[in-house]
Amino acid sequence: MTLIETVQPTLDKVYKRLAKEGLRDLTLLEYDRYLNASLWGKIKKWVFERDQRTCKICTANGKRIEMDVHHRSYDLEVLEGKNEKMLVTLCRRCHNLVEKYPDGRKRYDLDEKDFEYLRLIDVHSIMLKEGIPLRLESKVTKQYQQISLLHDPREALLFRTLDSCLEEYQRFPISSYFVGIFLTLLINSYTYRN
Ligand SMILES: [Zn+2]
């Protein structure tokens, strides 16, 4: 079922309610109220299913990762569920990268946010091509988590500045790779001995 087919009955109900309040359309509804309404819940569920709960930027997925649906536009047709192209699944971390500057201030300019969204997709695809490991899985065993933290100490940076991580790897690609392997072996031998 298309998004609008799925949400049309709910949308009709919302419009009946809005009419009683004298509101012409959804763009006049306070955004918090919109997000709390069942219409948004249904839209979100539909987008998650379409994207298989996979982040469009970093491709993280899994039940234990917090996922959001990001609005690339707040046009009426998007709010009503009539334009699913402008709604995408992002993990909470990537969503924050799009919504906020590295210093934590919120980005308000929609074009700027969308530029950042597309840029991060590019950065991630370059990282994949270069073989730079991305450790975003939530289903990690204790051992694996240890490895990933030591293997890639810049992981924390990743969520702040994906490109600074990329730059660093491009500068020292070989050393980073060997340090990773060395630490993995070290941890493996340590884990098996204990
Ligand atoms: Zn992500």
List the domain boundaries for the chain: 1-129, 133-194
What is the 97 CA–ligand 1 centroid distance (Å)? 9
What is the 58 CA–ligand 1 centroid distance (Å)? 4
Residue 16 binned pLDDT confidence (cut-offs 50, 70, 90)? very high
Structure tokens at 171: 């500068």
Do 42 and 6 meet the contact criterion of CB atoms below 8 Å apart?
Answer: yes
Q: Look at 20 and 147; give whichever has higher pLDDT.
A: 20
Residue 61 binned pLDDT confidence (cut-offs 50, 70, 90)? confident
What is the 29 CA–ligand 1 centroid distance (Å)? 29
What is the 191 CA–ligand 1 centroid distance (Å)? 30
CA 191, CA 182: separation in Å to the nearest integer?
14
Q: Look at 142 and 46; give whichever has higher pLDDT.
A: 46
Q: Look at 2 and 103; give whichever has higher pLDDT.
A: 2
CA 25, CA 80: separation in Å to the nearest integer?
9
What is the 101 CA–ligand 1 centroid distance (Å)? 16
Question: Of the candidates 3, 35, 29, 5, which has an alpha carbon nearest to the alpha carbon of residue 17?
Answer: 29
| Tens digits of residue pLDDT in 148-157 | 333 344 443 3
pLDDT at 50 over 90: yes
pLDDT at 122 over 60: yes
Q: Look at 63 and 7; give whichever has higher pLDDT.
A: 7
What is the 18 CA–ligand 1 centroid distance (Å)? 35
